[in-house]
Amino acid sequence: MKAMPTFLKSLLIPSLLLIGACSGQKVVIETPKPLPPPPVVKVSLGDVFFDFDKSESRADAVEQLRTNFQWLQENPSQKVAVQGHCDERGTNEYNLALGERRANSAKNYLVNLGAEAKRINTVSFGEEKPFAQGHNEEAWAQNRRAHFVGE
């Protein structure tokens, strides 16, 4: 290599690199496939149930009230009607008042979470629109509720 001119020496290393790069197998890098979109979770309104002769929200109602609040957040142009219901025990007048207290209790909870009060209407049906037919505790427990309806 002593007799090789300097010009040829300067071409030797790049030439060897080119030959080495071209003689090997090509490495193919595949583009990763895009991840599927996350599943869409549909939040829906649900009922909140009450104890006999009570209008305070029970501990088990908190999760449903938070879900209903989330629905309000996801549907900013929608309004909600909260319908207060009672079981058949008690006078019509008493049950209408109790149903109103139940509907207002649910509304107040949502407002305290940050919902706009003007988007939530309340109405009491007392014992007039039972969900479950029957004259036993199982049916009565299903009828003591605040029913949520999107408007």
Q: Is residue 42 in a domain?
A: no
User: What distance in Å separates the CA atoms of residue 140 and residue 98, rounded to the nearest whole number?
Assistant: 14
- What is the CATH classification number for the domain harbouring 60? 3.30.1330.60
Q: Is residue 144 in a domain?
A: no
Which pLDDT belongs to residue 7? 63
Q: Is residue 74 in a domain?
A: yes
Q: Is residue 62 in a domain?
A: yes
Q: Work out the burial of residue 147: count CB atoms within 10 Å of its CB; fewer than 13 is exposed, 13-18 middle, 19 or more buried.
A: buried
Q: pLDDT at residue 55 above 90?
A: yes
Domain count, the chain: 1
User: What distance in Å separates the CA atoms of residue 11 and residue 62, rounded to the nearest whole number?
Assistant: 78
Which pLDDT belongs to residue 90? 92
Q: Which amino acid is at 138?
A: E
Domain that holds residue 80: 54-87+96-121
Whole-model pTM above 0.75?
Answer: no
Q: Long-range contacts made by residues 24-32, C-beta under 8 angstroms, separation at least 24?
A: none
